[in-house]
């Protein structure tokens, strides 16, 4: 076992580590009201988050939408993902799709958006500015906590 000095990283050389971005989801109000985090959404209410893709980005492995509902339910969330580089339109790459997940009341659920948005997210590159909107499509109140992006 190698000795660790204060000026050396806590990861042994050659060990892979998770590159991760976290973005809180903020409740999006249409009437000038203050947004809330975590976003507590009734039917058709929205939450949003932004991410800036770092320069060491190569591939997006997972993009988890972290949520929990107020009751046991099969929840449908419409997710909009848009992104572009400096000098491009904010929605150069954009897609909106429904995501359905069975959830237990007051328990965190991480929904990976990569399988649903794979074709769109394959265009993601270092330097992109990403805008994500999640819209509750069911009567059950849900808390949209944040986005957890894992990349290599």
Which residues are 139's β-sheet partners? none
CA 130 – CA 133 distance, rounded (Å): 10
CA distance 77 to 123: 23
Q: Determine the average pLDDT of the residues in 66-82.
A: 91
Residue 131 falls inside a structural domain: yes
What percent of the chain is predicted at pLDDT more than 90?
56
Q: What is the pLDDT of residue 10?
A: 52
Is position 4 within any domain?
no
Tell whether the torsion through CA atoms of 67, 70, 74 and 79 is positive or negative. negative
- DSSP H/E element including 118: helix 118-121
Supply the range of the domain harboring residue 132.
19-151
When divided into structural domains, the chain yields a total of: 1
The overall pTM is greater than 0.75:
yes
Whether residue 53 is contained in a domain is answered as yes
- CATH number for the domain spanning 26: value is 2.60.120.260
* pLDDT above 70 as % of the chain: 83
d(CA 136, CA 126): 30
Looking at the domain assignment, is residue 6 inside a domain?
Answer: no
């Amino acid at each position: 076992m190698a000795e660790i000095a204060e000026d050396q990283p806590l990861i042994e050389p050659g060990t892979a580590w998770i590159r991760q971005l976290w973005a809180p989801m903020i409740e999006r109000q249409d009437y000038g009201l203050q947004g809330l985090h975590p976003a507590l959404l009734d039917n058709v209410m929205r939450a949003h988050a932004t991410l800036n893709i770092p320069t060491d980005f190569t591939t997006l492995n997972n993009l988890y939408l972290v949520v929990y509902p107020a009751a046991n339910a099969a929840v449908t969330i419409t997710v909009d993902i848009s992104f572009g580089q400096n000098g491009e339109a904010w929605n150069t790459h954009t897609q909106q799709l429904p995501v359905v997940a069975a959830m237990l009341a007051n328990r965190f659920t991480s929904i990976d958006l990569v399988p649903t948005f794979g074709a769109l997210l394959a265009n993601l590159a270092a330097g992109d500015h990403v805008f994500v909107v999640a819209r509750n499509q069911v009567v059950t109140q849900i808390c949209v906590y944040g986005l957890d992006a894992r990349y290599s």
